[in-house]
Structure 1
Amino acid sequence: MVAKSATTPVDPARHIIELLTDANKTIVTAESCTGGMIAAALTDIPGASEAFFGGYVTYANEAKSRMIHVQARLIRDYGAVSNQVARAMADGARNTAHADYAVSVTGIAGPDGGSEKKPVGLVYVAVSTELATVVIEHQFGDLGRAEIRQASVRAALDLVIQVLTST
């Protein structure tokens, strides 16, 4: 894991880039409902190229399978918005890119696409390392598409920081 820094900057993306750069590590993103917003947040930081490898926007189910090798059976059996697919997205992106870390997001941003079992606002965020993959389920509720996507980005960046600073 990456060593903790003395202070935590207000901007989580800046904090991630600083932590990774200091440790000479890289991160890749695999995004569905956020459509590249996590990658955009990270690349807004000057010097991000030292730590940000790149990103996959795997919006379509077929993109998840073809680009980052998510098994089609996982999508079929559990749905694209599931713990299993979020985990496979993060692991697949990290392995495909040969990065040290990967963060993935899959969810239902709405306004359509939700169901009783999987409502609008359900989002899974995963972070993959060589040691483990952590997946967190979020139920943001039907806040509106833009706010669900923003909340997903914040949740993803927060989870990356938690993983990078854990001991």
Structure 2
Amino acid sequence: MTPRSTETMFDIASDVINLLRKSKETLAVAESLTGGGVMMALTAVPGASECVRGGVVSYTIPLKENILGVDENLIAREGVVHASVAAQMAEGARRVAAVDGIEATWGLGTTGDAGPDKQGKDVGTVFLAVAASDDTQTWGPFSFPGSREQVRQGAILEALARLRQALVGRKANSS
């Protein structure tokens, strides 16, 4: 990966796809506030079909619980904008995207409140998670300022950057 002085969403998504392709690993995504934006960014990159298995846009609580396996007691206690919810979403994405009984190598989860109305946490609050078979990392709370779209775009960009960071870190640790 060549460092850049500026980066676009496409640049970061391209890095993610190239890292996954080189290591022959797969990715699944579980999105809430980003509404499919992470998948849109990833699948804009040529060759994404080699490593991106798919994703779930779990905008409602029942989908988070029933499809991704997010603990309903956790949601009742903390709400959906929480680090542990993002972690369980990322882990659930890996399971949901299993092919022939083999889970996706990586899962990415995004949850937060893009507004305009406050839904338990401050508007702009975001949590992200990346799950692998042996570890799940979470980040947040982030506080993204601006309009609904600016919060969503900030979350997508940060999610891709954190995923890239995890992929580079894993590669460095296995070398």
* TM-score calculated relative to the size of structure 1: 0.91
- SS in structure 2 of the partner of residue 68 of structure 1: coil
- In structure 2, the partner of 1:39 is 39
* Aligned counterparts of 1:40 and 1:139: Cα–Cα separation in 2: 22
* Aligned counterparts of 2:89 and 2:42: Cα–Cα separation in 1: 18
Off by >3 Å, runs of 4+ in structure 1: none
- In structure 2, the partner of 1:94 is 94
Could you tell me how far 1:113 is from its partner in structure 2? 2.4
- SS in structure 1 of the partner of residue 28 of structure 2: strand
Deviations 1:78-116 (A, max 9, x none): 11000111111111111222100011100000010245x
Equivalent residue for 2:126, pick from 123, 128, 136: 123
* Aligned counterparts of 1:53 and 1:141: Cα–Cα separation in 2: 28
Could you tell me how far 1:74 is from its partner in structure 2? 1.3
- What fraction of aligned residue pairs are identical, expressed as a percent? 38
Q: Gaps spanning 5+ residues in structure 2: where?
A: 98-102
- SS in structure 1 of the partner of residue 70 of structure 2: coil
Q: Gaps spanning 5+ residues in structure 1: where?
A: none
Does 2:105 match 1:105?
Answer: no
Kept after mapping to 2: 8 A contact 1:78/1:84:
no
**Which AA in structure 1 matches 2:163?**
V
**Alignment length, in residue pairs?**
160
**Which AA in structure 1 matches 2:14?**
R
Kept after mapping to 1: 8 A contact 2:113/2:123:
yes
Kept after mapping to 2: 8 A contact 1:110/1:142:
no
Kept after mapping to 1: 8 A contact 2:81/2:113:
yes
Equivalent residue for 2:137, pick from 124, 134, 139: 134
Kept after mapping to 1: 8 A contact 2:126/2:144:
no
* TM-score calculated relative to the size of structure 2: 0.87
Specify whether residues 70 and 112 from structure 1 end up closer, same or farther in structure 2 by C-alpha distance, changes over 3 A only: same
Could you tell me how far 1:141 is from its partner in structure 2? 4.2
Equivalent residue for 2:160, pick from 132, 146, 157: 157
